[in-house]
Amino acid sequence: MKSVAIKGVKEFEIKEIAEPEINHKDVVIEVTKCGICGSDIHYWVGGGPVGLVMGHEFCGKVIDAGDREDLKVGDRVTALPISPCGHCSACLKGNPQYCSETWTYATGLSLTNPGALTEKIRVRSDMVMKVPDNITDEEVSMVEPTAVGLHAIHLADIKVGDRVLVVGGGIIGLVSAMFAKMEGASYVAVSETNEQRGEKAVKLGVADEWFDAKREDTIPNLIAKTDGGFDFVIECCGNSAAVSSALTVVKPGGTVVLVGVATGPVTIPTVLAVMRELTVKGAIAYTKEEFATCIDLMATKQINALKFVDDIVGFEEVQHSYERLTSGQDDAIKILVDPKK
Ligand SMILES: NC(=O)c1ccc[n+]([C@@H]2O[C@H](COP(=O)([O-])OP(=O)(O)OC[C@H]3O[C@@H](n4cnc5c(N)ncnc54)[C@H](O)[C@@H]3O)[C@@H](O)[C@H]2O)c1
Ligand SMILES: [Zn+2]
Ligand SMILES: [Zn+2]
């Protein structure tokens, strides 16, 4: 079957890989939609591991239900792409994101477990979730990134009336902004280096205002706007400039949640956190409950994740889509891949 695999720095190839074997334990799924994620972009930019088939945000139909007696052929499903051990103390407490094995065999993020940029995938049966009929395949493929934003906002613990800045208006930033409003934030701003994305954050209704992170007066403007700083800053980029800006515009005693992932060490002025007694928290992935909550919020129409989807492309257009998403000038937020397109 066809797959899209990393070939080198910023380079993909479409290549044949073996179909997943049925082992009556794991669930085999025919992929219907798969999202391109900002984390996948880090691997593509880095050029490796060569041969990696990415894609950890997906919707599909069950081909073989494995050991899941509650599933049948044809059921529409998604799955948590992570690989927690299931028996350590973190797993038993419902925090798989702390498990040391969570990323070892992650779907689409490890060579041993190809992701959904192909036609069929095999995933751990305990990670599979059936989805209701009233959410589309496109929405289902948005569950994973939506859950990332929900987890970050749960960690922030926003109170009604708080002021929140989201640094970075990619999909993770925008869903975080959306949930910050739902939690009762009275003012949500987004800072962006990409003007098109900044404007879009406001147009889509998730931010009250956006600020151009390239302008020198943005930091003083943000501080003046909030009378001394934001209650919470959700950092969704991971680079040094972005993390430093987050530490600068949060109020004394405020909280910065770091969601952006850096592939190397990042230089930041830690003195800002010391002198103003900031709380700095990391946020990684989600719990199973948060994943299920996102499915539920979509099914009950309390959130609309479809508004973040800009395009649906075939395998041939994946390379170009990555180029669009990294151009810094395109307003596309989320591009989905359809293996049948
Ligand atoms: N912690 C987690 O569980 C988790 C999960 C998924 C993604 N991520 C990470 O979160 C980050 C965001 O993901 P995404 O899919 O939205 O990526 P993305 O690349 O689409 O979005 C990042 C945005 O940040 C903007 N940006 C860059 N530098 C900036 C600056 N100095 N100030 C303001 N904006 C700036 C870019 O223009 C871009 O729009 C990535 O680093 C990704 O790896 C983390
Ligand atoms: Zn992702
Ligand atoms: Zn574990």
Q: pLDDT value at position 263? A: 83
Strand segments, DSSP code E, in the chain are: 2-8, 11-16, 27-35, 58-64, 76-79, 120-123, 128-130, 163-167, 187-192, 209-212, 230-235, 250-258, 279-282, 309-313, 334-337
* CATH architecture for the domain at 2-142+305-337: Alpha-Beta Complex (3.90)
Q: Tokens 């799955």 belong to which residue?
A: 79
Give me the half-sphere count of Cα atoms (radius 13 Å) on the Cβ side of residue 94: 6
Give me the half-sphere count of Cα atoms (radius 13 Å) on the Cβ side of residue 162: 25
What does the CA dihedral 216, 219, 224, 226 come to, rounded to 10 degrees? Answer: 150
Domain ranges, ordered by start, for the chain: 2-142+305-337, 146-282
Q: Does the beta carbon of 223 sit less than 6 angstroms from any atom of ligand 1?
A: no
Q: How far is CA 177 from the centre of its chain?
A: 13
Query: 93 pLDDT exceeds 90?
Result: yes
pLDDT digits (tens, 9 = 90+) for 120-160: 999 999 999 999 999 999 999 999 999 999 999 999 999 99
pLDDT digits (tens, 9 = 90+) for 201-231: 999 999 999 999 999 999 999 999 998 999 9
Q: Whose CA is nearest to atom 24 of ligand 1?
A: 168
pTM of the predicted model as reported, rounded to 2 decimal places: 0.97
Query: What is the distance between the alpha carbons of residues 147 and 293, in angstroms, rounded to a whole number?
Result: 8
Could you tell me what percent of the chain has a pLDDT over 90?
Answer: 97
Q: pLDDT value at position 52? A: 97
Q: Whose CA is nearest to atom 17 of ligand 1?
A: 38
Three-class DSSP category at 246: helix
Q: Does the beta carbon of 239 sit less than 6 angstroms from any atom of ligand 1?
A: yes
Higher pLDDT, 252 or 110: 252
Q: Whose CA is nearest to atom 21 of ligand 1?
A: 170
Query: What is the distance between the alpha carbons of residues 183 and 281, in angstroms, rounded to a whole number?
Result: 18
CA distances 252 to 25, 156, 230, 274, 323, Å, are 52, 15, 9, 10, 39
Shortest-distance ligand to the CA of residue 286: 1
Q: Does the beta carbon of 285 sit less than 6 angstroms from any atom of ligand 1?
A: yes
Q: Does the beta carbon of 193 sit less than 6 angstroms from any atom of ligand 1?
A: yes
Q: pLDDT value at position 102? A: 94
Check if CATH label 3.40.50.720 holds for domain 146-282.
yes
Q: Which atom of ligand 1 is nearest to the CA of 145?
A: 6
> What's the distance, Cα to Cα, between the start and end of the chain in Å?
14
